[in-house]
Chain A
Amino acid sequence: MNWQDHLPALLLAVPLFGAFLAPLTNIGGKGLRNAWFLLVSAAITVLAFLLWVRVGSSGPLVYVMGGQAWNLALPSGMSIPVRILMEVDAFSAFMVLLSSVAALAGAVFSVAYMERFSGMEKFVALYFLMVTGMFGMQVTGDFFNFFVFLEISSVASFGLVAFWRDRGEALEAAFKYMLVSTLGALMVLVAVAFLYSRYNVVNMAALGKVIEWGMVEKTALVLFMTALAMKCGSVPMHMWMPDAYAEAPAGVTCALVAVSQASLYGLFRVCFTIYGSFMGSPVIPWVIIVLGVLSMFIGVSMAVIQKEIGRLIAYHSVSQVGYMLLGFGVGLLAMGDAKAVADYGFTALKGGVFHIVNYTMYKGLLFLAAGALYYATGCRNLNDMGGLGRKLPKTMALFMIAAAAIAGLPPFNGFVSKLLIYESTFAVHPILSVFAMVTSVLTLASFVKIFQSAFLGPQLKKFADVKEVPGFMLGGMTILAVAILFLSLFPTWSLNHLVEPAAKALLDQASYIGAVFASAATGGGL
C-alpha cells in the first residue's frame, strides 16, 4: 500500500483540516496562526506537485471515496460507478499544480499584508475553504460534487471579497459576485439534473460513455456553458470580475484568479470530455471563439480607460480569459478531425493550456504588486501616484517582470503562449489573430501607463516616508516571479512536460472514460 495512492483525497483533506483548525491555532497567538497558514499552504503545494508527478508517470488516477478499496470503481458487477469518484488526468493535475502555486503565493503575501487587520483566523479559515473548493472542482469525477465544490469555493470567496467590510464598495462587489455565482451554480445544478433525468448517472466518465446528441443534452450543454462562462468572467457577464478582483484583499485576488480558472476547467471538462466528439455541430466551438474574441477586445478596451490600478488589472483578466477561450474554442472546433487537429487544433490547445498557467502566474503577481503599492502608499488611484520606483525598487522590478509577461514581450512566457494562439487561429480565420494582436498591443499600452504613472517621474513629497514592503510580501511575489522566469527561460521543457500532456489529456476522451471502467478489471484488491 503506497500512501501516494491517496493523494487526491489528501489534496482535499489537508486544506479542509487547515481551515477548521485555523481558528484554534489563533488561541496560540499570531505567530502560531501564521505558521499554520504557511505550513498548510506549503503542504498542499507539495501534495499538488506529487500528484502531478504521479499522474504524469502513470496516467489518469481514479480514487473512490467510501468504497472497500480506493481503486474499486465498479463494485460487485455494477455497470456504472455509484460511489463518490475522483478522477485526476493530466489536465486536472496541471490545473491543481498551478492553482496550488497561486494559493501559496497569496498565502505568503497575506501574512504580512493582512497583519494590520483583525479577524485573521476567519480569513485563514475561509482562504483554505476556498482552496478546498477549487481543488475539489479540479479533481472530482462526478458532476454533483462539482456543483458542491463550486459552491464551497464561491461561498468562501464571497466572504473573502467582502473581508474589508468597512468599505461599502467591497460589500457591493461581493453582492454582485454572489448574484452571478449563485445563479451560475444553480444553472449547473439544473444541467446536472437534465443529464441525470436522461441517463441516471452523475459520474462524468459514465456520462461521457453513454451520451448522445439530443435535445436534453443540448439544453444541459447550454446551461453548463452559460454558467461556467459567467463564473470565469467572459463577456457579457464579466462585470462582477473587475469589482470583485479590485475590492478583495490582494492575496485573495491572487487565489481568486486560480478559482475562476477552475470554472474554466469545468467548462472544458464538459466540452471536451463529456460531449467531445459527440458534439454534432460547429456551433458550440464558434460560440466559445466569439465569446473569447469579445472578451479579449472589450476587456482590454475597458482596461485602457481605468484610473484605479486594481480595476485596470482586473479588466485585463477579462481579456486574458478571452485568449484562453479562443485557444480552446479553436481546439474544440478541430476535435474529431485528425487532420485539423494536427494542422492547427493541437497548437491552439497547447496555446490555451500554456496561457492558463502563464495567466495565473503573471496575473497573480500583478495583483500582488498592486496590493503592495496600496500597502505602501494607501492609494488606489493611478493619478495620485508617482515616483514610487525610487522608494519601492524591488516591487518595481517584480511588477516589470509581470507586466512584460502579460504584454507578451519576448522572451517572456506570455509571448510563447500568445504566439501559439496567433499561429493556430490564423489557420481558422485571419481576423481572429488580428483581434488577438490588437488586444496584445493595447495590453502593452495600458501596462506602460501603469508603470509610467506609478513608478516613474519625480519623487512626490507625500510619499517621502514610503518604505519598501515587508519581506513576506516580497516573498509571495517572488514565488510567482520565479515561476514566470522559469516558464520563460525553459519554454521547450514547459511545453513538453507541462503543457503537452495536459492538452493531450483534453483530446483523449477515451482514456478519461476508460480509466474508470478499466479499474473494474484490474482493481478491487482489498
Chain B
Amino acid sequence: MIGNFPYLVVGILFVMGFVGIIFEKNLVKIAIAVSIVEAATNLFIITLGYRNGGSIPVWTMAGGGSSRMVLPTPQALTLTAIVIGLATTALMLSFVMIIYRHYGSLDVRDVRRLRG
C-alpha cells in the first residue's frame, strides 16, 4: 500500500494539471498547469525506476557490495524530458508575453480572434 503512494501523488498532480489546463482562464495559469502535468510525468518515470533501498546506478560507486540499484534508464529519460519541458515552458511564457502586448489581456475569453 505505502509503496503505491508515489503513484497516487503522481495521479493527483496529473489530474490537477489537466483540470487546470481545461478550466483556467488566465494564460499564465494555463502555462503553470502545463508545467504541473510535466512534473507529474517526470515524477512518474522516476518512480517507475526506483527500487526500495537501491543505490545510485553507477557500478564502480555502488558501495557496500550491494548489487541492488535503481534503474538508470528512467533517470536518463527524465533528464531529457526536463530539458524539453524547460524549453517549452520558456517558449510558452514568451508567447504569453507577446499575446499580452497584442491583446492587452491574459484572459482566454479576450484572446479569441480566431474562431469558426
Contacts and interface: CB of A to CB of B under 8 A. Distances in A.
A151 interface: yes
Contact of B98 (A165, A173, A242): A165
B92 interface: yes
Say what secondary structure dominates the interface of chain B.
helix
B91 A169 contact: no
B56 interface: no
A243 B91 contact: no
A175 B99 contact: yes
B113 A182 contact: no
Contacts of A162: 95, 98
A340 interface: no
A202 interface: yes
Given A168-B99, A193-B44, A175 B92 contact: yes
Given A189-B45, A190-B44, A155 B91 contact: yes
A369 interface: no
B48 A196 contact: yes
A183 B84 CA distance: 13
A174 interface: yes
Contacts of B57: none
Contacts of B38: 182, 186
Interface residues of B, number: 33
B88 interface: yes
B114 A197 contact: no
Nearest to B88: A182
Contact of A183 (B21, B74, B77, B116): B21
A346 to B, nearest CB: 37
Interface string A279-321: 0000000000000000000000010011000000000000000
Given A169-B113, A190-B41, A193-B44, A144 B95 contact: no
Contact of B91 (A158, A172, A197): A158
A175 B27 contact: yes
A190 B14 CA distance: 11
A158 B82 CA distance: 19
Nearest to B99: A171
Nearest to A82: B73
B88 A151 contact: yes
A193 B113 contact: no
Interface residues of A, number: 39
A492 to B, nearest CB: 42
Interface centre among B84, B98, B99, B102 (most CB of A within 10 A): B84
Nearest to B37: A186
B88 A155 contact: yes
Contacts, number: 92
Interface in A337-385: none
Interface string B25-68: 00100100010011001001100100000000000000000000
B19 interface: no
A318 B63 CA distance: 57
Nearest to A150: B84
B37 A183 contact: yes
A38 B11 CA distance: 48
Contacts of A155: 84, 87-88, 91
A144 B37 CA distance: 18
Contact of B34 (A183, A193, A196, A302): A183
A222 to B, nearest CB: 14
A182 B111 CA distance: 20
A183 B37 CA distance: 8
B96 interface: yes
A178 interface: yes
Interface in B74-89: 74, 77, 80-81, 84, 87-88
A200 B71 CA distance: 10
Given A155-B87, A169-B114, A175-B27, A202 B96 contact: no
Say what secondary structure dominates the interface of chain A.
helix
Contacts of B114: 169, 172-173, 176, 242-243, 246-247
Contacts of B111: 168, 172, 175
A147 B38 CA distance: 13
Nearest to B81: A189
A178 B95 contact: yes
Nearest to A242: B114
A182 B44 CA distance: 17
B87 to A, nearest CB: 6
A329 B116 CA distance: 28
Contact of B99 (A147, A172, A200, A243): A172
A148 interface: yes
A24 interface: no
A182 B34 contact: yes
A397 interface: no
A246 B116 CA distance: 13
A151 B41 CA distance: 15
A266 interface: no
21 contacts: A148-B80, A148-B84, A158-B95, A165-B98, A175-B27, A175-B92, A178-B88, A178-B91, A178-B92, A178-B95, A179-B30, A183-B21, A186-B38, A190-B41, A190-B44, A193-B44, A193-B48, A196-B48, A200-B71, A202-B77, A246-B114
3 A-B pairs with least C-beta separation:
A168-B102, A197-B48, A151-B84
Given A151-B88, A178-B95, A202-B73, 20 more contacts: A148-B80, A158-B95, A168-B111, A172-B114, A175-B27, A175-B92, A175-B95, A175-B96, A176-B114, A179-B21, A179-B30, A189-B41, A189-B45, A190-B41, A192-B77, A193-B41, A193-B44, A193-B77, A242-B114, A305-B116
Interface of B: 14, 21, 27, 30, 34, 37-38, 41, 44-45, 48, 71, 73-74, 77, 80-81, 84, 87-88, 91-92, 95-96, 98-99, 102-103, 111-114, 116
